[in-house]
Structure 1
């Protein structure tokens, strides 16, 4: 995997970089990313809320 670098800049530039990155991916890589997003979304939706005791 590539080293992750945080990007700062105008939203248009960041969106253009993100779009170019996604277009460079193969169909399988796009599908893997979509499935990962769906799994995280499902985990957040069905997860139990942890309640902390107030002192």
Structure 2
């Protein structure tokens, strides 16, 4: 299992890296990522709300 890395770089550098990564993807890969984001968003919207127990 790979070790997790933290990105504590300058936000402008991180944004530039992210844009370069997205530009290197094919249209199908971009669409797959968008669909995954939409799925997660829908699941979070429809998820059962957890309410704290009143004491």
Q: Settle same-fold status: TM greater than 0.5.
A: yes
RMSD, aligned CA: 1.7
Runs of 5+ in structure 1 lacking a partner? none
Alpha-carbon distance in structure 1 between the residues aligned to 2:41 and 2:20: 25
Q: How many residues align?
A: 53
- Per the alignment, residue 19 of structure 1 pairs with 19
Task: Give the gaps of 5 or more residues in structure 2.
Answer: none
The 5 Å alignment of 1:24-43 reads: 24-43=24-43
Give the SS at the match of 1:36. helix
Counterpart secondary structure, 1:48: coil
TM-score between the two structures when normalised by the length of structure 2? 0.80
Displacement of 1:14 in angstroms is 0.3
TM-score between both structures, scaled by the size of structure 1? 0.80
Q: Which residue of 2 aligns with 1:46?
A: 46
